[in-house]
Structure formats: structure tokens, C-alpha cells
Amino acid sequence: MPVRVLPTQPYPDQKSGTAGLRKKVTVFQQPHYLENFLQAIFDVETALHGRTLIIGGDGRYHNRVAIQTAVAMAAGNGIAKVIVGQGGILSTPAASNLIRVHDAAGGLLLTASHNPAGPDGDFGIKFNIAGGGQAPEALTGRIFEASKTLGRYRIFEGANVDLDRLGTRMLGDTVIEVIDSVDDYARLQQTLFDFDLIRDWFTRGGRICFDAMHAVTGPYARRILIEQLGAPEGSVINAIPLEDFGGGHPDPNLIYAKHLLDLAMSPDAPDLIAASDGDGDRNMILGRGLFISPGDSLAMLAAHLDRLPGYKSGLKGLARSMPTCRAVDVVAKARGLECHETPTGWKFFANLLDANRLTLCGEESFGTSSSHAREKDGLWAVLAWANVLAVTGKSVQQIASEHWAQYGRHYYVRHDYDELPTATANGIVDRLRKALPSLVGGRHGDWTVSQADEFSYTDPVDGSVATAQGLRIVFGDAARIILRLSGTGTEGATIRLYLERYERAADRLGWTTTDALAPLAAIADKLIRINELSGREGPSVVT
């Protein structure tokens, strides 16, 4: 019997963050570190035994090694069938979809998303449950508890599966099937969008530039945009997934994808410019001459989605994470749709999606998706925009200006203070938390603080409560300042400061984001004093 039970020592730090367990590659390379975390999952989620498990990753450094371990441990833990993406590649939304398509009991998604890769970079694992969504907090909590006392793990010893050869083989009693990473995902998108119309839009001269940032979406974007929709060769750039993402930072935003902003502003800009992140769940959208902020993209898609084939029967409801700007709330109100405000992290949308109360949801961190999946879906958002352009015959610029004229405009920015000493970051947050009650009623320029509190969330479906989900200073509908600590970093602590300002008057819709938010940034500086207390001259990243 090659299934062996091997002794191990527990690690104390296997606590999942906003989206799974993320650590430096060197941490994952410690003896049995990965094995321990996986065994904790197999021990806690007993529903996996005798069922199907999906395994795949974003192709980053250490992906193949970790996938071999995961497959061998699945075979050692009584999984009936493992489905792996070819070459170990599955984008996060594709993996989530496979869980649904194959009625699997769960999935292991090996990714650290937008975090840099390579021997000195980051690695990570997310466990997704039946239905395709990320494990809820109660479950990741139990897995963490189990990991702290783990003394052994089970593995099929000596397994070495050829991840590149499609087809089925046995590992002991477990069926291992290597499948094409793109097929099912592409099929799904075809049911949602009007491929004929988009193809026609390309034929009529519509142009796209999609940057896969040398991360996981290259093969997906090539298959769908070029092979199926007929976009010209060259419409997808950086399409080959590389272990180090080409040395870049696969985080599609105005800093790490500045070349796309430059392209959008150039005289020869395509109609639609887009990118996605390391694991393919984020998206960035630009049109000729402008960048669409993720909160705006969510609101604009909400206003147009029922014109696309998969959504013709109408929208159920809308949702956004708390720090995401309230543009989508305005659309929800105008259309009489329920609108939810959830904590940061996609897992909080899952219950609402499962309960059929949501059609579209999004986060300010370049995440958008719909009820078709239980993860955010980068390429989905790009295809949705392409379909909107094709069906309306309008440009991104026109869609944006008409949207702002009708609903008003939310100016929005996020300031990240990366990798602060943990004590410093906690100090800044604690200080503001204590000051919150005294801020209510305070006047700052034209604005008065209507609410200042720490966000907590009660899930309307299962009643579970998530506390300490970010500090907010609200100035009615006019503006908000939000402060929270990141839960995805692997070094020190990262503070995120979010600024949002809403304007409706016609002569206030065309400001630059920086100008519009300067007064709010000054108020935040006065109230929170991040620069002064952190000793930094300013944020590390502004998006």
C-alpha cells in the first residue's frame, strides 16, 4: 500500500486571511508546511472523502511542486477523483466553475493572486467548497485550529503525475484526470454573452488590447478573444504564463499597469483596454482617453447587464464590499433592486449568490463578477464590457459620461501604505478607532460627519457575524473615508485608506480624481495622520 501516514510537527501560523493562506515561498518550502495545511483541510472537511476535488493554480513559481503534493495527498486521503488543469494551470474563476460543473466537493486553488512570484515572492492556497465559493470564515477557522495540533499527514508516496498529458490515470484508488484548463470556462462565457455580436463588433473595426501580465489568463484570453471572437492577433499581450510573471507585478491597476493608461491616452488607443491579475480574478477597464474605476465599472455594468444574453431575465440584486464606492447603490435604488454592503473579500458574497439574491457584485480592488461563478472573474468583466460596447454601439467614454449625467459621479481613490511595522499599523488603526465617537457631528469644509464606526456584518442568509471589518467616517451621501488593514500581505502590515466623494451637478462631473479628492485627503490626513505616525512621506501605492 503506497499510502503512508507520516509524522509531522504543527506550525502555529497557518491562519487564512482575506483570501486563503498566503506566505512567502520560502515559508511554504519548510518541511511539511504545505502537507500540514492540506491535511488540516482533509481532516476538517470530511465531506471531501469519496468525492471529486478540483486542483489548479496560477502557474507561479512552486506551483507544479505544490500541485504534485496536493494530488498525492488527495489520493492519500480517500478522494475518489481529482481533476487537475493541464500543466497545473487553472484561473481562480475557472477552478470555481469546474467545482460547479463537476459537482465536486471542493477545490484547492494554488495562488497568491496579485502578489509577486518567484523564489523570493509569495505563494498561497485557497480552499473552495462545494458550489465553488471560498471557504467561509467559520471553516477556515476550524482548519486553522486543526493545523495547530497536527501530528501526521497521509500521502500516496512516490506519486509523480504527468501534469501536461491530458487524460485519466489511477493513483491507488483515486482517479486523476488532467483536463484542458480553458474548455469549460470558455463554454460558460458563451452562455452569458453574445459572441456573434462581439465578433461582428471586431469585424466592424472594434479594437481591444488585453494584457494577461504573463499570468494565468493568457491561454483563456487567447482562446476566447482571438480564436472564438476573431479579435486580431496582437489583441492579447503578455499571453504566456511565466513562473515569475515576467518579473512584473500582476496587479492590474494604475501603478503596475501604467503602460495601459499610457496606451489609453495615446492617439492610437483601442476602444477597450483591459488586464487581469495573477490568478485571473481581477480586471482593469480603460477606454480611449479614460480609466474606469472598479466601482464605476460595477455601477455601469449594473446599468447595462440586462441587455446581455445571460442576464435578459433581469437582475436579482447588487452588492459591493464596504470600502467600494457607492455608485452601484445609486443604480440599485433607481432600479428598485436590493443592494448589499459586505466586508472585504469575495467569500462574503457567496451566501447571497447561493440564495439567488444577487446577480452582480464587486470590489474596489478591481474585482467584478456575477451569479455565474462564486469568485470574481477578470475575463468575464472584460467580455461584459465588450458586449456592452457591441450592443450599445457606444464608446467607453460615452457610456461613462451618460452614466455620470444620469446617476452622478463617485470620485474614488485608494492609498496603500505597504509593509509597515505591525505595531505602527495597529497603533494608527487603534488610535482612530478610539477617536471615532468624538468625530460624529464634526464639520469639515462643506461636509459633516454623519456616522463614524467600525463596520461589522451580519450575513442575511446564515446569520453569521463578521466584526472589525474596517473603520468608516461617513459624510452622508457626499463622502466617505475608510481605513482598514489588509489581510493578504505576507510582510509587516499594510494599511489601506479609501476616499470617496459623490457629486451630481453637471459642472462637477469632469474633475480629475486627484483634484476632486484633495480636500478629502486633507481631512483624512488631519483626522488619521498616517504619514506623521508612520514616518512615511505618503502612500506606497495610489490606485
Chain residues that interact with ligand VG1, rule: CB under 6 A: 18-19, 113-114, 277, 279, 281-282, 321, 344-346, 363, 365, 367, 486-488, 496
State the binding partner of 116 from ligand VG1, Co ion, none, CB within 5 to 8 A by kind: none
131 binds, among Co ion, ligand VG1, none (CB under 5 to 8 A by kind): none
The nearer residue to ligand VG1, 19 or 67, going by C-beta atoms, is 19
Task: Decide whether 76 or 106 has the Cβ nearer to ligand VG1.
Answer: 106
Grid cell 495622520 is found at: 529
| Residue 131 CB, nearest approach to ligand VG1 (Å) | 18
Scanning 94-102, 108-116, 262-270, 465-473 for contacts with Co ion by CB under 5 A, the matching segment is 108-116
Cα 501 from chain centre: 24
291 burial level (CB within 10 Å; 0-12, 13-18, 19+): buried
Contact by Cβ (8 Å): 142, 15: no
Order of strands across the sheet that contains 106-110: 21-24, 122-129, 106-110, 52-57, 81-89, 174-179, 167-171
C-beta closer to ligand VG1: residue 75 or 129 = 129
- As measured in angstroms, the least distance from the Cβ of 270 to ligand VG1 is 24
Length of the chain equals 543
- Give the residue with the Cβ less far from Co ion, 281 or 364: 281
The three three-digit cell numbers of residue 145, written as one number:
485550529
> Binders of Co ion: how many residues, by CB under 5 A?
5
In three-state secondary structure terms, 415 is: strand
Round to whole Å and give the CA distance between 6 and 355.
42
Question: Interaction with Co ion in 57-96: which residues (CB under 5 A)?
Answer: none
Q: Which is nearer to ligand VG1, 347 or 403 (by Cβ)?
A: 347
Tell me, residue by residue from 169 to 188, as one string, x for binding to Co ion by CB under 5 A and - for no binding.
Answer: --------------------
| Interacting partner of 19 out of ligand VG1, Co ion, none (Cβ under 5 to 8 A depending on kind) | ligand VG1
Q: What are phi and psi of 520, to 5 degrees?
A: -70, -40
Q: Which helix (H) or strand (E) holds 317?
A: strand 317-321
Q: 303 exposed, middle or buried (CB, 10 Å; 0-12, 13-18, 19+)?
A: buried
Tell me the DSSP string of 80-121: SEEEEEEEEE--HHHHHHHHHHTT-SEEEEE--TTS--STTS
279 binds Co ion per the rule CB under 5 A: yes
Quick one: which segment of 42-50, 275-283, 306-314, 343-351 binds Co ion (CB under 5 A)?
275-283
C-alpha cell at position 453: 464606526
Name the residue nearer to Co ion (CB basis): 69 or 92.
92
Using CB under 5 A as the binding rule, whether residue 251 contacts Co ion is answered as no
Site string for Co ion, 445-484 (x = CB under 5 A): ----------------------------------------
139 or 439: CB nearest ligand VG1: 139
- Provide the Cα torsion 227, 232, 238, 241; round to 10°: 10
Which CB sits closer to ligand VG1, 228 or 426?
Answer: 426
Contact between residue 71 and residue 159 where contact means Cβ atoms under 8 Å apart: yes
The item of ligand VG1, Co ion, none sharing an interface with residue 486, based on CB under 5 to 8 Å by kind, is ligand VG1
113 sits near Co ion (criterion: CB under 5 A): yes
Q: How far is the CB of 324 from ligand VG1 (least distance, A)?
A: 8
113 has catalytic annotation? yes
Which residue among the candidates 113, 181, 276, 534 is catalytic per the annotation? 113
Task: Report in angstroms how near the CB of residue 307 gets to ligand VG1 at its nearest.
Answer: 27
If one asks whether residue 18 binds Co ion (CB under 5 A), the answer comes out as no
> For residue 6, how many other CB atoms are within 10 A of its CB?
13
- Residue closest to Co ion (Cβ): 113
147 versus 321: smaller Cβ distance to ligand VG1: 321
End-to-end CA distance of the chain: 54
Shortest separation between residue 189's beta carbon and ligand VG1, angstroms: 19
Which among 497, 451, 506 has a CA at the least distance from the CA of 476?
Answer: 451
Element (H, E) at 54: strand 52-57
Give min distance, CB of 272 to ligand VG1, in A: 21
Cα separation, 23 vs 62, in Å, equals: 12
Which span sits near Co ion by CB under 5 A: 112-120, 182-190, 411-419, 525-533? 112-120
- Least distance from C-beta 534 to ligand VG1, angstroms? 17
Contact criterion met (CB below 8 Å) for 483 and 471: yes
Residue in 251, 277, 377, 503 binding Co ion, rule: CB under 5 A: 277
Q: Which of Co ion, ligand VG1, none does residue 363 bind to, with CB < 5 to 8 Å depending on kind? A: ligand VG1
Amino acid symbol at 260: L
What's the CA gap between 357 and 340, in Å, rounded?
10
Q: How many Cβ atoms from other residues are within 10 Å of residue 372's Cβ?
A: 20
Minimum CB separation of residue 126 from ligand VG1 in Å reads 8
- C-alpha–C-alpha distance, residues 87 and 72, integer Å: 16
Report, in Å, the least distance between residue 298 CB and Co ion: 16
Which residues between 281 and 310 bind Co ion (CB under 5 A)? 281-282
Residues in contact with Co ion by the rule CB under 5 A: 113, 277, 279, 281-282
Question: Which sequence positions are flagged as catalytic?
Answer: 113
